[in-house]
């Protein structure tokens, strides 16, 4: 009888232990790895490249998490013999410098022309335009007729216009160089060599530069 009672006790103990043992052997999916935190965005940068809805046409915002820090508009040390107010375009570094007092400059990231399509030398901002009309040059039409021929008569300003929100027209010795500093609706190209010879800026940056630079300003393209 004692043995039977002991067996009953062992059986009951097994009944209680078995679920726990099975649970311990059960394979469960490992918890997902923690999601990488989004990079911190400087609120000043986020505001600087936010959408502009007060202009003639809306300017889409630029996602600040996609901006390379080097391409963000900023005040930097800049040693130069050029007078304040001069625009210096460094096509190799892919920056525009607007020379300031005290050895400083406002620096903007830019996209530049493909090799062989760049202008080099000194020019003047002959005039400026908001939401400029764009017409491809004869050379552009000759190089890529399928892309440019349909715009031989020009394209009105607007959000799809490749000159973007503003343009500065560069002349040398009173003649149009056909070289422009202008906005772009492709901010991802800033820092690259992609344009047909002109200097492209993010629309938020070219609006800023336009507001600071009067017609007649000197431009040095290195």
For 34-45, write each residue's pLDDT tens digit.
Answer: 554 545 677 889
Helices then strands, each counted (H, E), the chain: 5, 11
Q: Could you give the CA distance from residue 78 to residue 207 in angstroms, rounded to a whole number? A: 22
Residue 82 CB coordination number (10 Å): 14
Decide if 76 contacts 95 (C-beta within 8 A): no
Enzyme catalytic residues: 182, 198
pTM of the model: 0.78
pLDDT in tens, 144-199: 888 888 888 888 888 889 899 999 999 999 999 988 999 998 898 899 887 666 89
Give the integer Cα–Cα distance in Å for 152 and 97: 33
């Amino acid at each position: 009888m004692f043995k039977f009672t002991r067996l009953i006790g062992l059986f009951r103990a097994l009944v209680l232990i078995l679920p726990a043992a099975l649970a311990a052997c059960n394979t469960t999916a490992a918890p997902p790895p923690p999601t990488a935190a989004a990079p911190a965005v400087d609120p000043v940068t986020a505001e600087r490249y936010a959408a502009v809805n007060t202009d003639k046409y809306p300017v889409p915002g630029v996602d600040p998490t996609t901006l390379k820090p080097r391409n963000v508009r900023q005040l930097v040390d800049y040693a130069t013999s050029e007078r304040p107010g001069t625009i210096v375009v460094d096509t190799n570094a892919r920056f525009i410098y607007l020379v300031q007092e005290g050895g400083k400059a406002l620096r903007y990231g830019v996209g530049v022309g493909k090799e062989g399509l760049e202008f080099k030398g000194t020019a003047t901002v002959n005039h400026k335009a908001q939401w400029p009309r764009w017409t491809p040059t004869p050379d552009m039409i000759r190089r890529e007729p399928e892309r440019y021929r349909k715009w031989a008569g020009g394209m009105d300003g607007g959000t799809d216009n490749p000159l973007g929100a503003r343009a500065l027209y560069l002349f040398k010795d009173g003649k149009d160089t056909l070289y422009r500093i202008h906005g772009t609706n492709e901010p991802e190209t800033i820092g690259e060599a992609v344009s047909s010879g002109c200097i492209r800026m993010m629309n938020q940056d070219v609006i800023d530069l336009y507001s600071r630079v009067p017609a007649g300003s000197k431009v040095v393209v290195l």
